[in-house]
Structure formats: structure tokens, C-alpha cells
Structure 1
Amino acid sequence: MFSTGQLIFAGCFVLAFIIIMIYSYRKDITLHRKYYRGSLYILLAFTVFVALLFALKSYLHP
């Protein structure tokens, strides 16, 4: 499906992207702690809400 060159490029791209994201996050960690306090609870609430929607859909739709 993919050539060897495409697979090598994809692997290098993913690796570089992850490294850059880790570097950026580490650089801004003090700002994250200051401005995004409590965002984990919002993520948790959103995840629970979506899970409840799927549960409700499977319960109501036979």
C-alpha cells in the first residue's frame, strides 16, 4: 500500500512532531500551571458526557 520511502518519511515526521510537542510543552509548563488550572476536570466531565451519550444511544436504539 505504501512505499518504503513513504513509511520512512511518516516515521521521521511522527518522531519529529512528538519531540517538538514535548519541547514546546516543557517550555510553557509554568504558563500551563498558571492559566489552565482545573482543565483536567473539564476534560473528565466532557469524557463522561460523551460516554453517557453513547450509553443512552445504545440503550434506546435496539
Structure 2
Amino acid sequence: MFSQGQLIFAGFFVVAFILLMIFSYRKDIVLHRKYYRGSLFILLGFIIFIVILFALKVYLQPE
């Protein structure tokens, strides 16, 4: 499906992207604590909403 070169490139890209995201987050952690307080509750709300939609889909699915 993918050549060995493509897989190696994808691996390096993923590692570099994750390291860059960690570095950027660490650099801005003070601003995140100041401006994004309470955003964890919003994320939790979205996750609960998706779970409820999935449960309704499974429950209301005709057999």
C-alpha cells in the first residue's frame, strides 16, 4: 500500500509534529491557564453529547 520511504517520512513527520506541539504548548502555558480556564468542561460536554448521540443511534436502530 505504502512504500518504505513513505512510511519513514510519515513516522518522522508525526514525531516532529508532536514535538513541535509540545514545545509550543509549553511556551504558551501561562497564557493557556489565563485565557482558557474552564475549557475542560466544554470538552467534557462535547464528549458526553457525542456519547448520547451514539447511544440514541444504537437504541433507536430498527432490527
TM bracket, shorter-chain basis: over 0.9
After superposition, the C-alpha distances for 1:14-49 in whole angstroms (9 at most, x for unaligned) are: 110011000000000000000000000000011001
Give the alignment's TM-score, normalised by structure 1: 0.94
Runs of 4+ in 1 over 4 A off after TM superposition: none
Give the alignment's TM-score, normalised by structure 2: 0.92
- Equivalent position SS for 2:41: helix
Cα separation, 2, equivalents of 1:15 and 1:51: 30
Cα separation, 2, equivalents of 1:41 and 1:19: 26
1:18 aligns to what? 18
Gaps of 5+ in 2: none
After superposition, the CA RMSD in angstroms is 0.7
Matched, 1:29 2:22: no
- Aligned ranges 1:1-62 → 2 under 5 Å: 1-62=1-62
Cα separation, 1, equivalents of 2:3 and 2:56: 44
Gaps of 5+ in 1: none
